[in-house]
Structure 1
Amino acid sequence: MQQRVSDRFAFLRRSTARFDACAGVVAAALALTALPAWAQDAASAPAETTLEAGKLPVPAAPPEANLPAVDPVISDDAFNKAIPSLDVDDDPELGRPLESIEAFERAMAAKQAGAKPSEGQAPPAGNPALADGTATEQIGDAPVTDAELSKPLPPLDQFQVEPVQFAEAEEDDSAAAVVYRVEVNGLDKADAETETDLRDLFDALSALGDGKGKAANAAMVTARLTEDEVLLERILASEGWFGARVRTRLSRGGTNENDREDEDGGEPATQGASARAAAPGLTAVLDVTPGKRYALGTITIQAAPTMPAGLVEKNFALKVGEPIVAQRVQGAEAQIAVALPQEGYPFAEVGERDVLLDRETGQGDYTLPVTIGPRARFGDIATTGDLAFDAKHVGVLTRFKRGELYDSRKVDDLRQAMVATGLFSSVAIEPQRTGEKVEGQPPGDDAEYVTMMVTQDAGPPRTIAGTAGYGTGQGFRAEASWTHRNMFRPEGALIARGVLGTQEQGAGVTFRRSNAGQRDRTFELTAEALRSDYDAYNAYTGRLATRIYRDSTPIWQKKITYAVGAEVLATGEEVYDFAVGDRRRRTFFIGALSGQLGLDTSDDLLNPTKGFRLTTLIQPEGSLQGGFTPYLRARIDASGYYPVSDDFVLAARVRFGTIQGAARDDIAPSRRFYAGGGGSVRGYGFQMLGPLDPNGDPIGGRSVNEAAAEVRYRFGNFGVVGFVDVGQAYESTMPKLSDLRYGVGIGGRFYTNFGPMRLDIATPINRRPGEARVSVYVSIGQAF
């Protein structure tokens, strides 16, 4: 290779010699063009200037110029001798034409091979290695037989450029994966000094833990290890170890693959080994040195005096000497922010804490600024925004009066009451200062009235709802309703309702005024028509009823409920006439009053787990045709719930009912007492317990007693229930304990955010002829 390069340089020297000779002529020509015009033209030259053959002209200075004498750098003879001769006779080489590179390389090849190549022989003599020492041809090595190089270039207008296609590397879906385990050392000491299980907290938040022991490469493990290093330091600092130190390393096969801590204890550094793919079996190690745990040294609360005195200190839970735990510090500050608005200070603000740590003593001096603000009492109510109702009706929902000491809990209660109306997308209630002082206050109490500004954002007032259920003997039943909750403001709703079932069909319309002149009081007026087709009776009923009540809802469960009302109904029903031995249709006109009182201490309306419920219903009513025949219907229901554990609940219920003052045949069948079915004694058909006619159909009675017990077990969103029901209806006016019928079964529950879905399967004990072996009940909510 070196020799071949020297030969090329020899060729260049020969060509350069000719170029140098020409360069002298070119240089002289350039020098000549640089002379002034008079110097280029001998005829126009001054007298002092001469042009001699072979010499450069030397311009003479103007006569008026006063120039110093300067010796020439080189004499004219020396300069003329330095210029090479351009005469071909003197240098025949200048007259020879330059050979082509092809001919030059052929000559060189012949020189190297020791033989003279023949005319037309392809250089370099069939041996590419003679050109540059490699078998790969370069441009200069290309033989004339290369068709592509010898082909003439196409015209520019016909030249087409094709984009270069680069081969793309195929993606490797089976990326080299590594497995790893996590080792945390030194955290036991911190765990022993705190109530918080720090390891469990770390495991719950760990990036290494989220990876479940697998990563694409060691670099990914290292990144997770770095993230967990910061996490551990934060966890320890939150428990008072502000000087905790965490060292991390990545090991393999029991040896240190990537020690990310300098030997002199410097800052962790990511080494190159961590970026290389590693074999399976890595260990991510976090060595924890908790250090000293800091405790509260002094506590200083910067706040103005309150009334009563010491409100801030009374509601501040931190004590001198206890560890500085972030959760406790934040909780103590939050307690102040909550307690002061509950005690008449709606504008109180908790400032930014300052904790000064002393490394020598291991204590932190805690300082907290608190702005108390003015003491306030409730004033007027104002409202703004997209209104569902005016400020006057907002006042109906409040549990406070003007002049009462401000209490944020009552403000929250008002907000919940407004949300419970179902008329808002959002509601905001804020106190606004008025500067109006409250007169007649004790000395030192400079309380002022605050206006409660209610910002309303009315939501869609219309609702479509539906329920569905199935029970053996009762069949399928579906109910749908359309409600405009604010058609008659404020809170005047119009409800259209329809019922469709295998044994019941009907429709009705209801006007309902919620919070009618008083919070939680509802006025209702209903008109409906209903067809019922049961084994006990077949009835066509028209009903007009009104009532005022206070009842629980899924949003607002109340401890005490009541209802008073009146109704008038006309019903045509088939009854069994023992005198004629067959059924016949009779028409009943009934007027009734009703009163109901309830006590509810349970913890949930649809899925109670503790507490009890007690409801009493009294209905004085009478038949209106052929005179007035009064009688009294009364019923008592009670249920209780006892949680054995978080998963097991024992539940039980009882019912007693009686009708006094009328013979059974003078009472419409639809107003009598029955037993059996999903809400009564499961395992029997709907209303199938009690007196029967000769055809085996129920005819109802004037008294009833029922009882039930359930064992409820819940696991996650599912549950299993075992139950026993007992009951009977009687012709007598008072219930008895004779001829009781029992049903047992098992049920499944699926718990949702609106209550449990219920599926019960029951069978009767000592089943009699005609009774079903198995009964199925599907509904929403627990059986009781």
Structure 2
Amino acid sequence: MERTRQVPLRVVLGVVWAFSVPVASGAQDEPSVAAPERAEQTAPPSVRVEGVTGRLRTNVARTVAQVPRACAMASPERDAAWRRRVVAKAESALRALGHFHAKVTARWADDAPCSPLVLTIDPGPPTRWSHVAITIDGPLSDSDAAQAWRATVPLKVGEVVDQGAFDATRDGLLALAQREGFVDARFRRKALIVDRTRNTAEAWLVLESGAPLVIGAIDAHDAPVEASVLRRALPVAPGDRYRLEAVAEAQRSLMSTEWFDRVRVLPDWAARTGDRVPLRIESTPAPRRRYEAALGYFSDIGAQLRGTIAWPLLNRRGHQGEITLLFARETQRLTFDYRVPRRHPKTEFLLWHGEWSRESRLGLTEQTAQVGLSWTRVRDAWTLSVGSDWLRSRTDSGSAVTQSHFWLQHLTVGWQGFDDSLFPTRGFGWQATVRGATRRLLSSDDLMQMHLRGQFAWPFGRTIVRARGEWGTTWGGKLTELPRALRFFAGGDRSVRGYGYQTLAPRDGSGRVLGGQHLVVASVELLHPVGPPGWYGALFFDTGQAFDSWLDFAPASAIGVGARWRSPVGLLQVDLAVPLDGDRRTPRLHLGLGVTF
């Protein structure tokens, strides 16, 4: 550190002494530190500290504990030397927190061999900041990052000197410059000047930021995808400002593509020319295939087994494929997805989709085949998807077989803003889908359908309030000719608890559930932590119905209690719901393992 003005000799001596004080950064002559504010700690049995409390006592105790004592080799000379080192350490710990006039007296607790040392401390008046000057010269000064950093500086005029805080401020300012791409930033002045006669100190930090660096060429010669594909997946490009966070984001972005088993984005300092620093991408391609198996359970559909084969990188254009087979007691489904990235494969892509499914429930057996193409764009919390699907279905009710086909055009817009996708405690999200078909374009009937879903979660103290709602309506189309995928149903674990899965909908003369043209569902749930960490108790109210005419809308409702456990294998949900409609009030148990909100 430097001294830039003439001061009396006794003050100069004070400055030199002050700079030998150990501080939190470890950049001084002694290893003692100014301990962070925390619960009060006690010195080891060999030293007892008296006369000070709080952070002063904690820092002294932690610092003197660093002085080793070998009682087995004790002698009067060794004890005296150890005593002097302990006193020196205690004084340095006090100076680190602004007490330059502290008096430390030491005495042995008793006359026994290796007796504990008792330190009695008079901290004296503290030294306070009389002047704090922190200046940034250069373009970094006007940046938003610098403005935000200034608001966090702990050095304030009138407060007690903390040399650890001074070092943290100095190091933090230089780290800020490095993060923002000002790698040539240097201190023109960095000084802490102590006036022991007045018990005051001055802090001076003057940083010359220099010019910011920009990103030069990006070298990815060993990448498993074409250079043009890689560039579209990168959030940075040559000519952009160089920032550490931008480089880290580039690495995260590439890793999230699933094209790589390992990838690193590094600045090539040896190839730097002027203000341009090239980036080098080192990578290992992803395995040719990935396999996944999952087992889940919901009381509505029973156990379900899902197996997936994924091809994270089919060719150098970044295409990806996936086949998934789902098997449950009443539902079997086989899907195939082929993804073509337009920019990043997770944020903008074309998706070719194929699906075959068979569902047998409540006396109806339906087989459905579907193929389609969609374009999806994800930006921040927003999702936009536009697509076209060809859907063909065959429904067997036992007494009749109906077949239908629809060429559906669809648009979906959604927004998600939850703090946790698996167990949200704060935020909200919604999704709106509009789809339609017409007889003029290879469809069995004219059809227009809208479907809205919304969720909300917010903490009030330790209690989490959750709400969800669902609304759907259909215009046109003969209900008996619509596939189940185009009909609305209510009831079950993730709809209206207390009732069977998809049982809240219009029925035919034989009592078979047909589904409805419209849907309304709402739910409110209170969660409160109980017992061990990860356990929550729940109170809830559900209501809703699928129906054909708004004049016939009569929602079924239920109340209940439940439990949630954030287990290592997923969210375990147990609910006991009591229906409030009809003659029976028999409680219904709902079990689930997986995401249900």
| TM-score, normalised with respect to structure 2 | 0.75
Give the Å deviation of 1:773: 2.9
Amino acid at match of 2:386: V
What CA deviation, in whole Å up to 9, does each residue of 1:446-480 have, x standing for no partner? xx444333343555564333443322232222222
In 1: Cα distance, 2:189 partner to 2:220 partner? 33
Q: Which residue of 563, 568, 573 maps to 1:759?
A: 573
Aligned to 1:14: none
Q: Which residue of 557, 571, 577 maps to 2:393?
A: 571
In 2: Cα distance, 1:659 partner to 1:768 partner? 27
Residue pair 1:677, 1:686 contacting (<8 A) in 2 also: yes
Aligned to 2:51: 186
Q: Which residue of 548, 568, 578 maps to 1:731?
A: 548
In 1: Cα distance, 2:485 partner to 2:593 partner? 23
Verify: 1:666 aligned to 2:481, yes or no. Answer: yes
Higher strand share: 2
In 2: Cα distance, 1:349 partner to 1:332 partner? 14
Aligned to 1:240: 98
Give the Å deviation of 1:499: 0.8
In 2: Cα distance, 1:740 partner to 1:642 partner? 26
In 1: Cα distance, 2:536 partner to 2:88 partner? 42
Give the Å deviation of 1:484: 2.6
How does 1:646-725 map onto structure 2 within 5 Å? 647-714=462-529, 716-725=533-542
Aligned to 1:376: 213
Give the Å deviation of 1:687: 0.4
What CA deviation, in whole Å up to 9, does each residue of 1:677-734 have, x standing for no partner? 12211222110111123443321000000001111223633222221111100022xx
Verify: 1:600 aligned to 2:416, yes or no. Answer: yes
How does 1:312-351 map onto structure 2 within 5 Å? 315-316=149-150, 317=153, 318-326=155-163, 328-340=165-177, 345-348=182-185
Give the Å deviation of 1:757: 0.9
Q: Secondary structure at the match of 1:360?
A: coil
In 1: Cα distance, 2:555 partner to 2:64 partner? 62
Verify: 1:639 aligned to 2:451, yes or no. Answer: no
Aligned to 1:393: 229
In 1: Cα distance, 2:229 partner to 2:413 partner? 27
Q: Secondary structure at the match of 1:488?
A: coil
Aligned to 1:272: 113
Residue pair 2:127, 2:200 contacting (<8 A) in 1 also: yes
Percent pairwise identity: 19
Aligned to 2:267: 430
Residue pair 2:138, 2:211 contacting (<8 A) in 1 also: no
Cα 1:364/1:650, change in 2 over 3 Å: same
Say which one has the larger Rg.
1
Give the Å deviation of 1:381: 2.1
Instruction: Give the superposed CA RMSD.
Output: 4.4
Give the Å deviation of 1:504: 1.5
Give the Å deviation of 1:328: 3.5
In 2: Cα distance, 1:475 partner to 1:458 partner? 39
In 1: Cα distance, 2:216 partner to 2:480 partner? 62
Aligned to 2:318: 491
Cα 1:500/1:641, change in 2 over 3 Å: same
Aligned to 2:587: 773
* Structure 2: 5+ residue stretches without partners: 1-43, 67-71
How does 1:246-265 map onto structure 2 within 5 Å? 256-257=109-110
Q: Which residue of 586, 609, 621 maps to 2:437?
A: 621
Amino acid at match of 2:514: I
In 2: Cα distance, 1:476 partner to 1:346 partner? 57
Amino acid at match of 1:272: P
Residue pair 1:377, 1:405 contacting (<8 A) in 2 also: yes
Number of residue pairs aligned between Structure 1 and Structure 2: 533
**Is 415-424 or 308-317 further displaced after alignment?**
308-317
Verify: 1:587 aligned to 2:403, yes or no. Answer: yes
Higher relative contact order (CA 8 A, sep 6+): 2
Give the Å deviation of 1:512: 2.0
In 2: Cα distance, 1:459 partner to 1:590 partner? 39
Give the Å deviation of 1:604: 2.5
How does 1:403-552 map onto structure 2 within 5 Å? 403-422=239-258, 423-430=260-267, 432=269, 448-458=275-285, 460=287, 462-514=289-341, 516=343, 520-535=347-362, 537-551=364-378
Cα 1:183/1:434, change in 2 over 3 Å: closer
Cα 1:327/1:606, change in 2 over 3 Å: farther
What CA deviation, in whole Å up to 9, does each residue of 1:91-115 have, x standing for no partner? xxxxxxxxxxxxxxxxxxxxxxxxx
In 2: Cα distance, 1:698 partner to 1:344 partner? 64
| TM-score, normalised with respect to structure 1 | 0.59
Q: Secondary structure at the match of 2:529?
A: strand
Amino acid at match of 1:664: L
Residue pair 1:396, 1:518 contacting (<8 A) in 2 also: no
Q: Secondary structure at the match of 2:220?
A: strand
Residue pair 2:403, 2:481 contacting (<8 A) in 1 also: no
Amino acid at match of 2:404: F
Aligned to 2:3: none
Q: Secondary structure at the match of 1:676?
A: coil
Give the Å deviation of 1:567: 1.6
Amino acid at match of 1:604: D
Residue pair 1:570, 1:587 contacting (<8 A) in 2 also: yes
Q: Secondary structure at the match of 2:177?
A: helix
Amino acid at match of 2:113: G
Cα 1:239/1:395, change in 2 over 3 Å: farther
What CA deviation, in whole Å up to 9, does each residue of 1:525-561 have, x standing for no partner? 2223222122263222222222222359xxxxx3111
Amino acid at match of 1:456: S
Aligned to 2:126: 293
Q: Secondary structure at the match of 2:498?
A: coil
In 2: Cα distance, 1:203 partner to 1:743 partner? 61
In 1: Cα distance, 2:86 partner to 2:434 partner? 68
Q: Secondary structure at the match of 1:739?
A: coil
In 1: Cα distance, 2:91 partner to 2:509 partner? 84
Q: Secondary structure at the match of 2:265?
A: strand
* Structure 1: 5+ residue stretches without partners: 1-178, 192-196, 209-216, 251-255, 259-270, 276-283, 438-447, 553-557, 576-581
Amino acid at match of 1:187: V
